[in-house]
Amino acid sequence: MYRVFVFLSLVFLATPLHAGPDRYSLLLGSKHIGATSFNELNPGVFLTWEQSHSAFSLGAFYNSYKRVSLAATQYRPLKTWANGDAGLFAGLAFYPVNGKTFKTHLGGDMVFIGGLQARHQNLFVQLVPMTAGGADGLLSFGVTFAAR
């Protein structure tokens, strides 16, 4: 399943990989809305290649089950302003051991992820609907910096 993740990540990023990333993001943590049994300290690093109407990200993070996960996502801003934007993101994530338990499980430990994302200056936040472990949703947050 790891090979499938790598292949699909390269498909997501095929166009923008000719140059270095445009943005670096550090995932800091999360809040599982309505649940308390999850790890909410989730450090991670994401590299993002920005296009005119979308962005492609690839990264690794310490997940809510205290394991390292990989993710590849595409983001589509719906509203932009001088110092930020807001929109939708979707992609794939590899959740070792726990991926099979997700309702969005695609095979092995690969899962579909998606939700709302907003960025203002150097801060970002994501809201992901979920029902695992009694949670009503996941709010994740971090900092982001332009590469150039």
Q: Confirm if 135 and 33 have CB atoms less than 8 A apart.
A: yes
What predicted TM-score, i.e. pTM, was given to this entire model? 0.85
Residues 68-82 have pLDDT tens digits of 999 999 999 999 999
C-beta neighbour count of 95 within 10 angstroms? 23
* pLDDT tens per residue across span 11-69: 555 555 567 899 999 999 999 998 888 999 999 999 999 998 999 999 999 999 999 99
Residue 57's domain spans which residues? 2-17+24-146
d(CA 139, CA 126): 6
Q: CATH code at 30?
A: 2.40.160.20
Domain count, the chain: 1
| pLDDT given at position 19 | 75
Whether residue 64 contacts residue 40, with contact meaning beta carbons closer than 8 Å, is answered with yes
> Which residues touch 14 (CB under 8 Å, ≥6 apart)?
none
The encoded tokens of residue 48 equal 């993002």
